[in-house]
Chain A
Amino acid sequence: MKMNRRQFLNHTCATGTTALTSVTALGSLGMMRSASAQTAGDYRALVCILLAGGNDAYNMLVPTDGPQYAAYSTIRSDLALPRDTLLALNFPETGDRTFGLHPGMGRLAGLINSGDAAMVANVGTLLEPFDAQAVENGTATLPVGLFSHADQIAQWQTAMPDQRSAVGWGGRMADLMQGINLANGVSMNVSLSGSNTFQSGRTTNEFSITSEGDGALSINGYDEDSFFGDFRRRTTDSLLSPTRTQILRSEYRRRFRDAIDANTTFATAMQDAAQLQTTFSANGLSQALRQVARVISARDQLGASRQTFFVTVGGWDHHDEVIQNQARMLPMVSNALEEFRDALVELAAFDAVTTFTISDFARTLTSNGRGSDHGWGGHHVVMGGDVSGGRLFGDYPLLADNSVLDVGRGIYAPTLATDEYFADLALWFGVSDSDLALVLPNVRRFVASGSGSPLGLFGG
């Protein structure tokens, strides 16, 4: 289509004034008595896998029926994957349209076809349902910094495409729900990838662990029963006693004390973590998911009834060599997901854990001669025992030269908002319908209050 990109991009910038109201509304969030998930005992976990850099999802999930494969092949030109290499998926709802998975993702194809995982098509950051005419007229309201890594990778984590915010929707869930876990200093939000936006709340931060050992860090020697250990403990404690009052020093002292205590609590709980029979590959994603499974196995010792986990896998910004890079990296994701499923089944926790992917954006359908550039809507994986597996949620766009969704260079606008995708996940996790807008501030632009799960990802 011929669209007015000038007008289009004009509206991708926000001045920050609209931001003020929603931030103020969120200010009361931490103090609010929440209706969300008050019952302990029904453990649930969300595992967020961030494919950082913008996965070229149109080569992960590919149309395979004759007309659409032809359209795909034309528009992707030298980036098109051969049709006979694609792994057939048996989606029940797509009729004459058929789809295949990237040839390196055999294990994910198995997970989908066996009903343990599903896919969500063409989801992206939106502030209103995409309207090509409104974009053409310059009247559309569009995300801040569309197509920019910094903004888009953040907005998938904040669920606030209308502004730049340091608070994530996982953090806002923890602000609401941390109280249903045992108050032992270990956050509901556990990160295998350090500080991140998704898990940063206003009152709750992530608890950061590593994939090595039992994950916790503690001061060398602090827990040891020895001369050295006793000395370390006494002297360290001496400087952490809350006697002096300079406000920044007090905050540092409090965080230091909390970090020592939370790590000790965590390490103690992890002594009972399962020795998994499932073997995991050696790469970072598999090892991180292995540690997540071990933490989940120690959930009772941790007093956790709700947890989120965050894992980043970087290196998806394939302006160059997209074919070779995806052939190397997508199998890693596929294998890690299957290993994680096996471990959770081993722990009898697969029904209690939902794993989902996010990414900055998908990429241009057109080629730049070496790879693909920054796009918008993309396709994602959701896995878990409660997921209505084997299905394709959302609408995979009909690929065509004159597609109304094509905003230029084969950048397809999303037909599903991240708010809708996240609403299903948050509601399953236990956020009440009345609290949903506290977690996803823009959700009412897409999902009416009281209308339940917009996608039906679970229990369908």
Chain B
Amino acid sequence: MISRQSLVHATILVVSLLLGACGGGGGGNDAPPPVSNPPPTPAPPPVSKAEIDAASRMIQRASFGIAYDELESAAQLSPETWLDQQLALPATYHRGVMEEVLSRRARGEFDAFEEDIEYLIFGRRIAWWHNTLTAPDTVRQRVAYALSQIFVVSDRVDTLEIYPYALNTYYDLLLQHAFGNYRDLLRDVTLSPAMGLYLSHLNNRAADPARNIFPDENYAREVMQLFSIGLFELNLDGSPRLDANGRPIPSYDNDDIREFAEIFTGLSFGGPGAFFGNRDEPNFSVPMQMFDAAHEPGQKQLLNGFVVPAGQSGIQDVELAIDNLFNHPNVGPFIGRQLIQRLVTSNPSPAYIERVARVFNDNGAGIRGDLRAVVRSILLDPEATSPADPLTVSGALREPLVRYITLLRQFKIDSTDSLVAATGYLIQQAVNQHPMSAPSVFNFYLPDHTPAGPIADAGLVAPEFQITNATTIIGWPNVLDAIVLGDFPAETPEGFDPVTLDFDPWIALADDTTELIRALDSLLTAGQLDPALADVWIAELDAIEDRSFRFRSALWLFLISPEYVVLQ
């Protein structure tokens, strides 16, 4: 009890210190502004609240969030125009940030601090956080993150955590192909050394029966089960195809796994001086290299009667196997449904899945696998854009990690350092989620996770509830205290400047509680806050004299509300 009390007192103390500082003239533009003209007011061309809400809804699904003034500008564009501007932006890659951290380390900037190895880990994490929090191509960053939850690798394998380029390079690959073609994505994932290490097809060698050595089947299984076609044959709308006895039809069997395992032999780390079997000097910066001497040379019988002839080079084999998976009719509905779940709704209708799968199969120009067209079709589908109806099942529980990132971007996280050097530990401790840190290749949650009770009874799924337990559900409001009340948005390692949020315009706006709630409702809940609840909050918040504490309390309430956590 004592510790909790002191925490609250500490929180209040932090808040009062903050208020003191604001009143003391440290901030610069802190004079009480006229009530009529606080900063987050509409730009000259008037935009209705309904238009802002609609833009907010799409942008919060499509991206890691934008600030209120940017939202007002975005609302002047059609959703298609805003999205197409985003889709046209060049990718912001992680490698450059990692290189900057390593060069700072080489210059000795961190010598006074922790062990080298921690800075290797920090560097990788900073690359992810700096880019995710600041990159202009936030839709691409968001889609890459969604892909990282389908094509899972995890830093719970020590080698991937410690080698600085292991996960950066992998994530850059997801960024590169996020709006490219699924076939290229699947091939590059397959040849990625991070994936090769994670699912053990790196240094997987041709059979040597005399020495009891046979190809490892790990990647062969998961590339089918998780990355391309799934366990059962699907109709275009995602429903399982059934045999004459009404049973689902397996997409592949053990023999298929064995044949694919032979395909994925002969790969090891690439780069100068590469040799098959190398474990001690991993090169994560380049794709795995094929060593034909270690590749299974025989014929392979793949799916749907497709035969890879004997005697080809290993890379030819891999390319044909990727083609075989890519052209399987399951891919559109299987991958399409999961991307819909990550971006829009846990329970898309079969018709929605079918519309997206048709775009996957043909982008309108005869091209299969165009992910840019798939992402566009997901976000602009009528089922996504039609008005939210609280009586329907539409929507998804937002992952705590996405909530956190969106919050920081919406309130303009910044640093006097050239890098916004968050490392993610604050949120990871509170909610046990961090990018590329899933407990297994099955991600943080399964696409078909269904919580017992009303959701299961209704035949629905809700994947993100798999990580919503008594600890994480309380961890969220408490970590918000640090961010919202304590002005501590993220931890940064020694050697980097701290990060800040910009609450000042909002504190000014808090003179008018009704206006404050209205603007926060647009920014955070896309106009979905229950009006009756808004009235309760306005009465409560009006009783708080201090404008800063009033705004911060309002923000905290929004962020823990069901209407925010589940965006429809």
* Interface magnitude class on chain B: 35 or more
**CB–CB A263/B481 < 8 A:** no
User: Knowing A9-B214, A252-B566 touch, does A247 contact B469 (C-beta < 8 A)?
Assistant: no
Among residues of B, the one whose C-beta sits closest to the C-beta of A257 is B473
A5 partner, pick from B214, B250, B536, beta carbons under 8 A:
B214
Q: Which of A30, A207, A217 has the most CB of B within 10 A?
A: A217
**CB–CB B452/A203 < 8 A:** yes
Q: Is B465 an interface residue (CB 8 A)?
A: yes
Q: What 1/0 flags go to B440-475 for Cβ under 8 Å of A?
A: 111000100101111100101010011111111111
Contact stretch, chosen from A40-48, A228-236, A291-299, A342-350: A228-236
Q: What 1/0 flags go to A244-265 for Cβ under 8 Å of B?
A: 1111111111111011101100
**CB–CB A3/B469 < 8 A:** no
**CB–CB A256/B391 < 8 A:** no
Contact stretch, chosen from B3-11, B367-375, B514-522: B3-11
CB under 8 Å from chain A, chain B span 1-30:
1, 3-5, 7-8, 11-12
Contacts of B475 in A (CB 8 A): 217
User: Knowing A208-B469, A235-B553 touch, does A249 contact B562 (C-beta < 8 A)?
Assistant: yes
Contacts of A247 in B (CB 8 A): 393, 454-455, 458, 460
User: Knowing A150-B441, A239-B562 touch, does A15 contact B254 (C-beta < 8 A)?
Assistant: yes
Contacts of A12 in B (CB 8 A): 217
Cα–Cα distance between A217 and B139 once the two chains are bound (Å)? 35
Q: Is A148 an interface residue (CB 8 A)?
A: yes
Q: Is A28 an interface residue (CB 8 A)?
A: no
Contacts of A195 in B (CB 8 A): 432, 466-467, 469, 472
Q: Is A238 an interface residue (CB 8 A)?
A: yes
**CB–CB A244/B562 < 8 A:** yes
User: Knowing A5-B212, A247-B393 touch, does A217 contact B471 (C-beta < 8 A)?
Assistant: yes
**CB–CB A205/B253 < 8 A:** no
**CB–CB A15/B395 < 8 A:** no
Contacts of A5 in B (CB 8 A): 212-214
Q: Is B478 an interface residue (CB 8 A)?
A: yes
**CB–CB B254/A11 < 8 A:** yes
CB distance from B155 to the nearest CB of A (A): 13
User: Knowing A220-B478, A231-B553, A248-B455 touch, does A408 contact B212 (C-beta < 8 A)?
Assistant: yes
B468 partner, pick from A166, A194, A236, A255, beta carbons under 8 A:
A255
B465 partner, pick from A13, A217, A229, A251, beta carbons under 8 A:
A251
User: Knowing A220-B4, A231-B553 touch, does A248 contact B474 (C-beta < 8 A)?
Assistant: no
**CB–CB B470/A258 < 8 A:** yes
Contacts of A217 in B (CB 8 A): 470-471, 474-475, 478
**CB–CB A228/B8 < 8 A:** yes
Cα–Cα distance between A47 and B303 once the two chains are bound (Å)? 46
Q: Is B354 an interface residue (CB 8 A)?
A: no
CB distance from B444 to the nearest CB of A (A): 9
User: Knowing A235-B537, A248-B462 touch, does A202 contact B452 (C-beta < 8 A)?
Assistant: yes
Q: Is A33 an interface residue (CB 8 A)?
A: no
CB distance from A50 to the nearest CB of B (A): 12
Q: Is A450 an interface residue (CB 8 A)?
A: no
CB under 8 Å from chain A, chain B span 56-107:
none
Q: What 1/0 flags go to A1-22 for Cβ under 8 Å of B?
A: 0110110011111011100000
Contacts of B255 in A (CB 8 A): 10
CB distance from B281 to the nearest CB of A (A): 15
Contacts of A263 in B (CB 8 A): 470, 474
Among residues of B, the one whose C-beta sits closest to the C-beta of A250 is B454
Cα–Cα distance between A224 and B291 once the two chains are bound (Å)? 66
Contacts of A95 in B (CB 8 A): none
Interface residues, chain B, with chain A CB atoms under 8 Å away: 1, 3-5, 7-8, 11-12, 207, 209, 212-214, 217-218, 221, 231-232, 247-248, 250, 252-255, 257-258, 346, 390-393, 395-397, 432, 440-442, 446, 449, 451-455, 458, 460, 462, 465-475, 477-478, 481, 530, 532-533, 536-537, 540, 544, 553, 557, 560-563, 565-566, 568
Interface residues, chain A, with chain B CB atoms under 8 Å away: 2-3, 5-6, 9-13, 15-17, 30, 145, 148-150, 154, 164, 166, 194-195, 202-203, 205-210, 212-214, 217-221, 223-224, 226, 228-229, 231, 234-236, 238-239, 243-256, 258-260, 262-263, 267, 271, 408-409
In the A-B complex, the 9 residue pairs with the closest CB atoms: A249-B562, A208-B471, A259-B470, A150-B440, A217-B474, A221-B8, A248-B566, A246-B390, A6-B214
Known: A247-B458, A248-B462. 18 other contacts (CB 8 A): A6-B209, A15-B250, A16-B232, A16-B250, A17-B248, A166-B446, A195-B432, A214-B1, A220-B11, A221-B11, A228-B12, A231-B540, A239-B557, A239-B561, A243-B532, A247-B454, A252-B397, A256-B562
